[in-house]
């Protein structure tokens, strides 16, 4: 299991990279619903 310091370092590194975004669950869901690139099942259950 990663230490808090290692996790913080990884997050800091990721945030410093161009094109990286951190989103909440609701933001991810909204993006997925609006994106034509999101894979969808062809029939309902």
Q: What is the pLDDT of residues 7-33, one digit of tens each?
A: 999 999 999 999 999 999 999 999 999
Q: Beta-strand (E) ranges in 1-45?
A: none
* Amino acid 44: pLDDT: 60
Q: How far apart are CA 23 and CA 29, in angstroms?
A: 10
List, in order, residues 6 or more apart from 20 with CB less than 8 Å away: 14
Asked if residue 14 lies in contact with residue 20, where contact means CB atoms within 8 angstroms, the answer is yes
If pLDDT is split at 50, 70 and 90, which confidence band does 43 have? low
* Amino acid 42: pLDDT: 81
């Amino acid at each position: 299991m990663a230490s808090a310091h290692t996790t913080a370092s990884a997050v800091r590194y990721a945030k410093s990279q161009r094109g990286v975004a951190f989103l909440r669950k609701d933001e991810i869901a909204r993006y997925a619903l609006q994106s034509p690139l999101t894979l969808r099942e062809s029939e309902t259950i």
